Each structure stands twice: as C-alpha cells, then as structure tokens.
C-alpha cells in the first residue's frame, strides 16, 4: 500500500513511518518542522536527541519525505499527485491545548493551521485521489466529560417521540480541541457529499519513548516533549521524576482520561489502515487502552521510579484549566479490539522504559518549562505548588 503521512516528522508520525515501512508499505510524507520550532520557542527541546529531517529522509531510503506545509495548497496538491497514495494519514496539526489558550495570536494560528490544513487535504483527495482512505487523528478530548457513556462517534437520540442516529454531541475543553471537532464535522460532511472514505481516530494521550520498529539505532529515536505546553501528562511526570522535580498533579488529580502507549498507537492506526472503510463511509474509532485518573498516573510513576532507585515525589498544583475535576468518564472502545487490537505492554513496563531512556539524557530537561502559567481564565500567573 502507498501511504502518505502528513506530519511525518512528529512524535507519532516518525515511528509510524518506520513501523509501516517494516510491514512492507511504501511510505512518503511531508512536514514543515513546526513542532521543532514551537518547542524551541517554548525554551525546550526534545528530551531525547533526534535526527534532523534530512537524516530522516535518508533513513527512509527510497521513500519521499517532503519539507512542506499543507497550508500551501498548490505545493501539497503537486506532491500528493506525484505519489497517488492509497491512504493519507493526517497527523500534521498543532496538538496542544495549552498552546491554543495562550492568547489571540496562538488561538487563531491553531485554528487556521488545523482547520484549513484539513480542508485543503479534503479538496485535494476529492480532486486527485478520491479512492484514498483518509486516516485522521482526532482526540477523545472532542467529547469532553459527559455524564453518560461515550460511544464511538455516533449514538441514538430520541426527541418528541422520534429517534435517529446522530454524531455524539461534543463538549471540547480548549480551542485546540474545538479545532478537532470542526475537523470531524468537515470530514464527515466531505464523505457524505463527495463519497470519500475516512477513519476519524479519537485517541487518548499517548506515552512512551520507543517502539519495536525503531530497533537499537539512536537515529530512529522519536521526539519526547515534557513541558507544560507539549508534554502529555505521563511523559511529563516521567521527565520530572528523573530530575528530582515534584510530579505536578493539576488540582485534585481526580480528572479521568483514557491513555495508550506509543506502541499501541502504532498498532491501532495500522489496524485501521489495513481494514479500510467503504466508499462514502465516515467511521469513528475510540483509541485507547485504559482510563486512569491523574492521581493514579502520578502514583504509578512514583512507584515505578522507586523500583529503579529514583526518589520521586508528587505535588499538587493549582489547576490552570477550566475543567471538572470529579466526573463520570466511560468511553467505549469496541471497534479496534474487533479488528484484533490487544495492548502490547503494561503501563508499568512502559514507564520503566521511559525512565531508563530519560535517565541517559536528563541533562537535556529544562525545568523552566514545566510549571504551568498558561491559564484558561486568561490571567498570567504561575500555578502554586503544594507537596502531597
């Protein structure tokens, strides 16, 4: 299968390219290097050293890795026309709730980059390769935390004695998450009117440093972010643990979310790619392993760190976000297990791997970017920290 990855240089895009290539697929893709740039602007870098884009293009060999922004319609159209892919994986978006909440400039840039980039791809697919399967990375954050079970995309609604199937109502918690909602609506509409086919992946936060397809060559490393803007919570906790910084638990820590490892993210996206939808079909997969509270995650990381001789401790930080801290949370995940998804490794074993990898590079971790000062209420103050 010819697969084109938008965002091929990213945390998910790079290991996915290696994984799919190892499975015999022909891989190409594009990236504008924006994640590297924005993390540097934050005052950080990947905690684990990574190859530059030129080196990565050599690693992929005969495959094509283009330095390109999907907001450039003409250039993107030309590249995809030269590839004529069977599937396009869209990972090329600004994926940070805090970044989108910094202020007007960051909010507008997140919306423009994410929504317009997706619309460009939809029109290009329609005109150039209408049979291609669009695999779009969404987020479980689109749903919010409703006081009901969360189906995979659609549910039955009854009103005034009548009923129908509707897209499940969304209650996103940041401007970034709302861009994902708008993407989902636009993709669903394009499938309906143009007969395109798409899988919308509602994925939970991903944690981990490596997958099997990377092997032992350090040039295959994927990036690892840990700050308040770009670091997902488990990765942030692990980075804090290895440098002796308190694990920053936002608020009560009772917030619940659904997580999966980097290896499992690769497995799930591969299953979706190799079992594509039908023409005109828009389908939604909820993609995660298990639901954890933030407090549970902090306890897991400190326990695993202790087993490795790392004395980690936790601290309560005033929550910078506007979110419910006690809530019901039960997303369904049935479609991927039906295709064969089985979690590859326990969270404890994955955290062991993360901590060992970070210990080698702990001097690269900049603690100045860890404590949150990006607040959903618009104020500019750093959250207070109290030991737990």
Kindly list the catalytic residues. Answer: 139, 176, 180
Cα 89 from Cα 80, distance rounded (Å): 12
Neighbours of 148 (CB within 10 A): 11
Q: What share of the chain is helix, strand, coil (3-state, %, to 5)?
A: 40, 20, 40
Neighbours of 184 (CB within 10 A): 23
Cα 334 from Cα 166, distance rounded (Å): 18
Cα 283 from Cα 191, distance rounded (Å): 10
- Asked if residues 37 and 113 have their Cβ atoms less than 8 Å apart, the reply is no
Cα 250 from Cα 257, distance rounded (Å): 13
Cα 134 from Cα 195, distance rounded (Å): 12
- Asked if residues 297 and 230 have their Cβ atoms less than 8 Å apart, the reply is no
Task: Give the pair of three-digit tokens for residue 203.
Answer: 């994925």
* Strand ranges (E), the chain: 2-6, 26-31, 65-67, 87-90, 133-137, 149-150, 154-159, 162-167, 197-203, 206-207, 247-250, 256-261, 282-287, 290-293, 314-317, 330-331, 385-387
Helix (H, G, I), strand (E, B) or coil at 204: coil
The closest of 289, 304, 298, 284 to 191, measured between CA atoms, is: 284
Counts of helices then strands in the chain (DSSP H, E)? 13, 17
Cα 388 from Cα 299, distance rounded (Å): 11
Cα 304 from Cα 368, distance rounded (Å): 25
With a CB cutoff of 8 Å and minimum separation 6, the contacts of 350 are: 207, 208, 261, 262, 263
- Asked if residues 110 and 94 have their Cβ atoms less than 8 Å apart, the reply is yes
């Amino acid at each position: 299968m010819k697969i084109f990855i938008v965002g091929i240089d990213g945390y998910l895009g790079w290991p996915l390219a290696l994984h799919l290539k190892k499975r015999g697929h022909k891989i190409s893709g594009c990236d504008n290097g924006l994640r590297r740039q924005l993390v540097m602007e934050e005052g950080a870098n990947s905690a684990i050293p990574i190859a530059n884009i030129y080196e990565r293009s050599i690693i992929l060999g005969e495959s094509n890795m283009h330095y390109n922004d999907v907001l450039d319609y003409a250039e993107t159209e030309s590249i995809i026309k030269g590839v004529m892919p069977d599937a396009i994986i869209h990972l090329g978006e600004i994926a940070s709730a805090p970044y989108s909440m910094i202020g007007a400039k960051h909010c507008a840039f997140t919306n423009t980059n994410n929504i317009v980039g997706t619309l460009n791809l939809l029109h290009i697919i329609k005109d150039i390769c209408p049979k291609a399967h669009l695999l779009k990375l969404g987020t479980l954050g689109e749903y919010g935390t409703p006081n009901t079970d969360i189906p995979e995309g659609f549910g039955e609604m009854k009103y005034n004695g009548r009923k129908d199937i509707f897209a499940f109502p969304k209650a996103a918690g940041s401007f970034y998450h709302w861009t994902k909602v708008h993407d989902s609506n636009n993709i669903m509409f394009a499938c309906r009117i143009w007969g395109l086919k798409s899988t919308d992946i509602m994925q939970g936060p991903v944690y981990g440093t490596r997958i099997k397809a990377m092997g032992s060559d350090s040039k295959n490393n994927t990036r690892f972010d840990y700050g308040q803007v770009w670091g997902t919570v488990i990765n942030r906790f692990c980075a804090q643990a290895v440098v002796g910084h308190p694990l920053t638990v936002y608020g009560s820590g009772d917030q619940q979310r659904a997580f999966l490892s980097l290896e499992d993210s690769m497995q799930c996206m591969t299953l979706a790619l190799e079992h594509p939808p039908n023409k005109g079909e828009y389908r939604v997969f909820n993609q995660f392993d298990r639901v954890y509270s933030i407090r549970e995650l902090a306890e897991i990381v400190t326990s695993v760190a202790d087993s490795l001789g790392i004395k980690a401790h936790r601290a309560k930080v005033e929550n910078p976000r506007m979110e419910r801290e006690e809530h019901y949370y039960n997303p369904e995940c049935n479609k991927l297990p039906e295709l064969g998804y089985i979690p590859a490794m326990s969270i404890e074993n994955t955290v062991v791997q993360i901590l060992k990898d970070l210990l080698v590079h702990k001097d690269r971790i900049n603690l100045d970017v860890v404590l949150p000062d990006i607040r959903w209420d618009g104020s500019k103050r750093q959250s207070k920290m109290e030991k737990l």
